[in-house]
Structure 1
């Protein structure tokens, strides 16, 4: 009766408030009689609901903070509703309206926590579209794939572990809302080994080795209409889940001894050096040997490598973000040296200025660094552009790069300072929590955003973990806020991974940050270096070894390759350019690219690696390609003033990475960088099409360029040939030349040249990295 009394009559208080607002705006009293009746019914119902709630909490074995908050919110609602009736009868309308607002707020809060108790912590998120970056397993889709239940062979230790984790995943997403520490119906808990085996007030629920005699199996296989069917509230386990639970019990309900393991995959922290597999003699690069082993396991063969022109364009765009000139392509194609591709890579990595100007885009996205926007006007945000550019230009070792971000100097402090938002913000957005979230996401590949508000629904990270980590960045100890409500509890100060060390709790903030930096960059922090290696691989190959790149606990398509690259990265002095050289000179990188029609396939558990994923130029690469091949998109004055003026002399034209964001780059996918952005979509969209068709920045650049090209190339034949060579690195085919000359006309016009360049710029061969 408690839910019945709550769900309808008490909600009448909300309707009463709505009508009160309507009557107030209309300056009318015609609704007064109805409002009075609603308030009286709601107040009486709140008393009954509170009484029944007290009975229910003692009958249903509820426990934990959630039920306490729900209980007191319900009692507060009752008192406020009664007080509202008294004030209404006394005709003190101002007081009455204030009390009615309080009663509605109280019933809303009580309703929220009641829903948490009744339907579980995901009662809202479970019906929303899933976050593809951090989605948890849902009913019917377990996180692990247990090989086969049909063999009669004894299970290996690994199979036992995987089976147990699958079972616990099923229990977590279907049973914990009623049978856990928060709510323990029938005195039964299913979240601990000893409690599962103990059973509830009606006895044991499973008999190891005998699913047919286990009460658990009987309950989950009853018809949905049966009063004893489980789970309740209309949920049903899938056939696969039922079969897996039955198989688990049949195997003796194994539960690995020792500490409880997560129902989520938790990646190893320590570094690991796997043996390099054997492979054909021509595969000398260790990457290729690991990939060869992977191809054999997946019954795949090696595809052809790309030709010289395609490889040169690919590696130019990946290393310095620019197109090669026609002369450079011609010279490279004529080069007969066997190691010319290795030489090319070393040459490009040695172009320090161009390298820094290109990779500034990647790190600006990841480190939330921009040149304008929220926080800069009010002084609540600091840019790190000078420091970042200098670090990239001299190829600063990654351990020092990280150290200077976390224990910063004046030029690098902007990353952990966060944005001081104007006005009232919630507790999960305060600068110390932003620092914790950003460091964990960018450097460690894990999500603390959910755990900054409440215990995470998608990982094992708890609210206390997030606050303890945020406290390392805080000058005073933060009070834990759950769903933006103060708890009165102070969090400690500790690392997310205790194996890395212990922070000096009472030390100054400056000292704590030095300790944090020292702990994180240790060689034994394999997670830091796997995260970096995976990000670089994703940038160069179109898809990380682990996807999404911010969820490093996900399963990699090759654990050995990831571990070897991270270990080798540390042994080679934390040198990002050496890491890139290893990847760029591998046969794996040189394979024909793979087209992906559905972007969701990149993050699907069934993904099979076959080579570099074909991808679209970034906003900055596209702008620079147009600038180099045809006409500068931005004027010289567009380069941000915060960088030394000498940088302008290092550039052939204003690089897009060094100008403030505008509508053109926004349309092509450049983020606003108010939050961390570690990946960009490679899919074309309507906004891009509209901007490329009608946008002022792009089309003005084409118009100005057409004027210059018309003067330089008065004949259509030469003009068309040079445009193709500049933009695509090749001469036009006969059919292309004929169509292009028709577009520009026998005597090239500005409009014709502009139309032709526009068509070339939108051609897949120009827009994609093949």
Structure 2
């Protein structure tokens, strides 16, 4: 029997919800068939506040140890809605005291969840820091873009993320002549009316009328808008469920967040927590903790934040339909990388060819191109271990020390206008010596952190010339050597990490004993003096100086100063003379009393994961194009590594190597992972975080300028510097250079890697194509193009020589087909052949292959 079209449309509209339910269920059938019993958690529910809520999770374990989330597939109903309600997403809310059941219908049948409601008729009083601050944070009232910014908004100022609840309570209840709340008529409070958009409000509506947030805020005002008892339980930590999950493309997962208080009680804060994904293109999350996976394979970390506490759920989306064949393994790096790629269903690319590896290793390790002779010899070498031998030779070359001296000069802010030219020369020479001698990294850092003496003498003392205050020193040292960004904690609790203001000023106190004194020659010296505890700017109390996360040590009360004995003059006792006004006692301290020694002991201790992990990640980022953690100097639980087992093993390996940076580099470069090609496969074409193929890395400005000089045979001559100095060796960061400016050489104003800009631009392209400086190098009479043109070579050999010189490889058949006619049509010698060679060099210099390391 056929249905008429209008009837068919009507039937589809009525049955669409049911069809959708069965479609989802049918899509899960293949998993459910081999799955265990569906579970609903928690098995029982108890809510003890009028505005409390509890999120149910419905899940199905499978035979392959995955968990399928059915929370939004299941149907929910309350047996008695006069006691408790449950919405279509599984969120239970109380109505009145009593007991009832929530019935959960799912593909496996039904599950009954007993629900107990209490504390509705006679609720406990709300606490401002525990119950109201989360509302302000969830509604973004105390964010930097609203009332949390430094100057506040329209006369109303809150502390960022509610880090100072007492100040926020005063701002709401006392400032503005108390006009923001109305104890007599809570619903007419300006605070509520603006949040509901019943009054004009620049921030618009922040929550809906009758919502949990609205009712809780109104109840708090009706209770007298008190701060709350100091003895009330405080938040200890939060937990998220699940902590990790594997989803297929377009899969979903509902999260649940628990708050654990100091009295051991647990409460669901799923609707009150904030959520953020570190890879939204892979998996996004909404305000209720609902995660939606995309079609891209990879991993995302979902951050959950509540009252200054943070935790993370790891979401993995594997590539479907990929048969993974494990490639050979050269070392532990390959094993852990293949493990990750296998779990994601992403195939690694093939190995790069010898020419690619040769150029990649040269540029990465020493920052120069291989010569044509070196390229020809390496490509002809039949030795099976020639790549490992090449790495060993590169690490022993003097250019290695030059290159890494430049890199660390950027990190240590060797700015000649800040630390003086003499100071810049002194610390540059010291840095170079560290890399020439391959000094262990922990010893190198120890000498740097505890530096003292004349800033003009060869040594690291000039480091403290760039660090004007203990606060700046704490921030820079933490970021460069520990991967901890402390700057946020100067004003408020870090929104995504554990550090607060007390940690910030405790760490800064470790540098409060660094003093700068004038020397007889008019210079300056770094002298350690007695360190002092710094004041907390909010409490105005002294914070004991200590490394990050270290428990303060109990201090002995200072012994009373001895009373000076009276002076006897001519038989009469007189009081001891007082110190002359302006007298300053000698405050120099020995090394044992310098708190920087304690700091560096803590930093380099075997159980301090930050120190070795930071350096391992920094070196990894240099050689692989991106860090296992990005940004590379932002290590925290809410910014997890793309391959955590690999980063942990690399950190351990660096410690096992006794911080030998050359030995660690050998391990990286001898791995098969480092030697992968940039060409992609269908399964890894969109992968940007798991190193399934090599990355294209823009050459640093200094390396690129040196490469142009080498490729053209016309090195750059720098004003005021002897000929032969490469750009990498120039310590003067203020040297005027248009090339340096447009290609992103850092000015060394910060310690962030991001200061070096490697982003391509139109200015760069136009400069390389049209600048007279580049054309002069190419057309130089003694340059490579002219020299090759004069040699009695065939057209094919001439083209080979140009390619070996510029790109360190032989031309491909297609390239020969296009370029050989240009050389064949030219006379063997003379202007035409030379012009043809110059044109070819110009083309190669402007190719992506030359401008990027790949």
TM range (shorter): 0.5 to 0.7
1:229-628 to structure 2, matched below 5 A, reads 240-242=286-288, 262-264=309-311, 282-351=328-397, 353-370=398-415, 372-374=416-418, 376=420, 384-410=427-453, 411-413=458-460, 416-417=463-464, 419=466, 430-475=468-513, 477=532, 480=535, 488-498=540-550, 508=589, 511-553=594-636, 554-593=639-678, 607-628=689-710
Q: Distance in 2 between matches of 1:631 and 1:412?
A: 36
Structure 1 residue 677 and structure 2 residue 752: aligned?
yes
Shift of the 418–456 alpha-carbon distance from structure 1 to 2, 3 Å rule, reads farther
Which structure: larger Rg?
A: 2
Equivalent pair of 1:541/1:612 in contact (CA under 8 Å): yes
Equivalent pair of 1:367/1:676 in contact (CA under 8 Å): yes
Structure 1 residue 747 and structure 2 residue 831: aligned?
yes
How far does residue 303 in structure 1 lie from its aligned partner after superposition? 2.9
Q: Distance in 2 between matches of 1:360 and 1:523?
A: 26
How far does residue 469 in structure 1 lie from its aligned partner after superposition? 0.5
Equivalent pair of 1:638/1:660 in contact (CA under 8 Å): no
Q: Distance in 1 between matches of 2:480 and 2:641?
A: 18
Between 558-567 and 583-592, the greater mean CA deviation after superposition: 558-567
Q: Distance in 1 between matches of 2:264 and 2:176?
A: 31
Residue deviations 1:89-139 (CA, integer Å, cap 9, x gap): xxxxxxxxxxxxxxxxxxxxxxxxx999x999xxxxxxxxxxxxxxxxxxx
Q: Secondary structure at the match of 1:263?
A: strand
1:45-56 to structure 2, matched below 5 A, reads none
Partner of 1:760: 844
1:80-229 to structure 2, matched below 5 A, reads 147=245, 167=257, 192=261
How far does residue 396 in structure 1 lie from its aligned partner after superposition? 0.8
Residue deviations 1:372-394 (CA, integer Å, cap 9, x gap): 344537x9989621111111111
Partner of 1:254: none
Structure 1 residue 667 and structure 2 residue 667: aligned?
no
Equivalent pair of 1:632/1:653 in contact (CA under 8 Å): no
Q: Secondary structure at the match of 1:759?
A: helix
Give the paired residue count: 534
Give the TM-score normalised by the residue count of structure 2: 0.54
Partner of 1:211: none
How far does residue 682 in structure 1 lie from its aligned partner after superposition? 4.0
Q: Distance in 2 between matches of 1:417 and 1:580?
A: 29
Q: Distance in 2 between matches of 1:64 and 1:505?
A: 31
Q: Distance in 2 between matches of 1:479 and 1:299?
A: 53
Residue deviations 1:432-464 (CA, integer Å, cap 9, x gap): 111111111111111111112333233232122
Residue deviations 1:449-486 (CA, integer Å, cap 9, x gap): 1112333233232122111101110136465575xxx7
Equivalent pair of 2:546/2:552 in contact (CA under 8 Å): no
Q: Distance in 2 between matches of 1:244 and 1:283?
A: 39
Equivalent pair of 1:545/1:557 in contact (CA under 8 Å): yes
Runs of at least 5 residues in structure 2 that lack an aligned partner in the other structure:
1-153, 157-163, 179-200, 208-239, 274-283, 292-306, 315-324, 514-530, 559-587
How far does residue 653 in structure 1 lie from its aligned partner after superposition? 5.0
Equivalent pair of 1:473/1:509 in contact (CA under 8 Å): no
Q: Distance in 2 between matches of 1:149 and 1:610?
A: 20
Q: Distance in 1 between matches of 2:469 and 2:403?
A: 29
Greater share of strand residues, 1 or 2?
Answer: 2
Runs of at least 5 residues in structure 1 that lack an aligned partner in the other structure:
1-48, 54-61, 77-113, 121-141, 151-158, 169-189, 198-205, 209-213, 221-237, 246-259, 268-278, 421-429, 641-647
Q: Distance in 2 between matches of 1:700 and 1:557?
A: 46
Q: Distance in 2 between matches of 1:295 and 1:465?
A: 38
How far does residue 292 in structure 1 lie from its aligned partner after superposition? 2.2
Q: Distance in 2 between matches of 1:431 and 1:509?
A: 21
Q: Which has the higher contact order (CA 8 A, sep 6+)?
A: 1
Residue deviations 1:120-176 (CA, integer Å, cap 9, x gap): 9xxxxxxxxxxxxxxxxxxxxx999753899xxxxxxxx9xx956xx36xxxxxxxx
Equivalent pair of 2:349/2:676 in contact (CA under 8 Å): yes
Partner of 1:223: none
The root-mean-square deviation of aligned C-alpha atoms, in Å, is 4.8
Q: Secondary structure at the match of 1:670?
A: coil
Between 385-394 and 712-721, the greater mean CA deviation after superposition: 712-721
Q: Secondary structure at the match of 2:753?
A: coil
Q: Distance in 2 between matches of 1:610 and 1:713?
A: 42
Q: Distance in 1 between matches of 2:714 and 2:539?
A: 56
Equivalent pair of 1:320/1:354 in contact (CA under 8 Å): yes
Q: Distance in 2 between matches of 1:71 and 1:740?
A: 83
Shift of the 119–367 alpha-carbon distance from structure 1 to 2, 3 Å rule, reads farther
Partner of 1:713: 789
Q: Secondary structure at the match of 1:543?
A: coil
How far does residue 671 in structure 1 lie from its aligned partner after superposition? 0.9
Equivalent pair of 1:432/1:470 in contact (CA under 8 Å): yes
Q: Distance in 2 between matches of 1:579 and 1:474?
A: 35
Equivalent pair of 1:368/1:415 in contact (CA under 8 Å): no
Q: Secondary structure at the match of 1:305?
A: coil
Partner of 2:765: 689
Equivalent pair of 2:803/2:809 in contact (CA under 8 Å): yes
Residue deviations 1:35-81 (CA, integer Å, cap 9, x gap): xxxxxxxxxxxxxx99xx9xxxxxxxx951244478887579xxxxx
Shift of the 674–461 alpha-carbon distance from structure 1 to 2, 3 Å rule, reads same
Partner of 1:654: 726
Q: Secondary structure at the match of 2:831?
A: coil
Q: Secondary structure at the match of 1:458?
A: coil
Equivalent pair of 1:319/1:355 in contact (CA under 8 Å): yes
Q: Distance in 2 between matches of 1:723 and 1:504?
A: 75
Give the TM-score normalised by the residue count of structure 1: 0.59
Between 331-340 and 505-514, the greater mean CA deviation after superposition: 505-514
Shift of the 491–695 alpha-carbon distance from structure 1 to 2, 3 Å rule, reads farther
Equivalent pair of 1:630/1:705 in contact (CA under 8 Å): no
Q: Secondary structure at the match of 1:488?
A: coil
